[in-house]
Structure 1
């Protein structure tokens, strides 16, 4: 599949079904693209689709199956769009293209040749619990315990939105990082990563109250 050059071709790309309820079009919107007038279109649609399918099937759909609708805040970025975001980092908060290959830039492999994909999402059912408790760790620990396909999460303050990634690299270990203070420790930064004492085992005590208040519980 070539990079779309016409409206019809872009429509066809947008219709590609990445998983049972998610389509490529769901991941192409970008505020940077809109304001700066830069099309957010993959140079390598085939690679972007392959990475996106893994993210959707192995990470996003399993979350949505249990916790309900997810809202995509930011996902795929073309190299040109991400470069503009990195150029204006203070305004757009984008890191360099190289650090985003196999991350937000789905259609470029990382330095080791592996593909990957990242999306920033909000779990709608978590918003009331988060606004009441400010405890983003409840969601982080639930995903850590139940979603095998994720490799990294990074949490942000508004609605407990977070970047979540899938990586092809089999050596990637799970990492949870947050720019929001952990209400249990008063600190931001790493919640867990390989080598930390809290990496393994069940963390149900941190998310049980959230799960119990879901409508299906």
Structure 2
């Protein structure tokens, strides 16, 4: 598939079904694209589709199946859109750091493909607004979604970037820009390979919340 240059071609790209619940179109929206009037279209649609399918099938679908509807906050960015976002400090890393992350249609420096989406788990919003405890959700995903490569949490609605990467040796981590309610740290790593809390079950952190959304009859 070539880079779309007509409305019809872009419609066809948008209709590509990435998984049972997700289509390419919902991952193409970008506020930067809208305001700066830069089309957010992949230069390599086939690579973007392949990376997106893996993200959706192995990460997003399992989360939605278990926890209910997820909302896509930000996902694919073209190199041009991301570059502008980085230059104008719109919470975008440089292109080099975003290859195989938000830039789905370019492989990372090690030659691996990947894809990131910033999502909100709708069922988690009430609990988060009451507790400000994003760690509950982070540990649930860490324990149940083996295919995630990294997560980064943000303050509003506990939205978070979640990445899939084809590199099976990826140094998995969870990072946050939200205060850790258990330690009081303003930001930093919740866990990563090599930390003592990386392995084992973390059910104590999310048992109460899971009981609220999936009560035992």
TM class by shorter chain equals over 0.9
User: Does 1:82 pair with 2:82?
Assistant: yes
For residues 43 and 60 of structure 1, the distance between their equivalents in structure 2, rounded to whole angstroms, comes to: 24
1:137 is matched with: 135
Where does structure 1 lack aligned partners over 5 or more consecutive residues? none
2:17 is matched with: 17
1:211 is matched with: 210
User: Does 1:193 pair with 2:214?
Assistant: no
Shift in CA distance, 216/43, structure 1 to aligned 2, threshold 3 Å: farther
Give the 4+ runs in structure 1 shifted more than 2 A: none
For residues 95 and 150 of structure 1, the distance between their equivalents in structure 2, rounded to whole angstroms, comes to: 20
For residues 14 and 162 of structure 1, the distance between their equivalents in structure 2, rounded to whole angstroms, comes to: 23
1:166 is matched with: 164
Deviation of the 1:179 alpha carbon: 0.4
For residues 98 and 174 of structure 1, the distance between their equivalents in structure 2, rounded to whole angstroms, comes to: 19
Once the two structures are superposed, residues 25-83 of structure 1 have per-residue CA deviations (whole angstroms, 9 ceiling, x without a partner) of 01000000000000000000000000000000000000000000000000000000000
Once the two structures are superposed, residues 127-186 of structure 1 have per-residue CA deviations (whole angstroms, 9 ceiling, x without a partner) of 000000100000000000000110100000000000000001111032000000110000
1:28 is matched with: 28
Query: What SS is found at the alignment partner of 1:3?
Result: coil
For residues 52 and 35 of structure 1, the distance between their equivalents in structure 2, rounded to whole angstroms, comes to: 25
User: Does 1:44 pair with 2:44?
Assistant: yes
1:183 is matched with: 181
Query: What SS is found at the alignment partner of 1:213?
Result: helix
1:58 is matched with: 58
Query: What SS is found at the alignment partner of 1:73?
Result: strand
Where does structure 2 lack aligned partners over 5 or more consecutive residues? none
Query: What SS is found at the alignment partner of 2:213?
Result: coil
User: Does 1:155 pair with 2:183?
Assistant: no
For residues 14 and 27 of structure 1, the distance between their equivalents in structure 2, rounded to whole angstroms, comes to: 9
For residues 24 and 139 of structure 2, the distance between their equivalents in structure 1, rounded to whole angstroms, comes to: 28
Task: Output the TM-score relative to the length of structure 1.
Answer: 0.98
Deviation of the 1:215 alpha carbon: 4.7
Q: Could you tell me which of 102, 105, 110 is aligned with 1:104?
A: 102
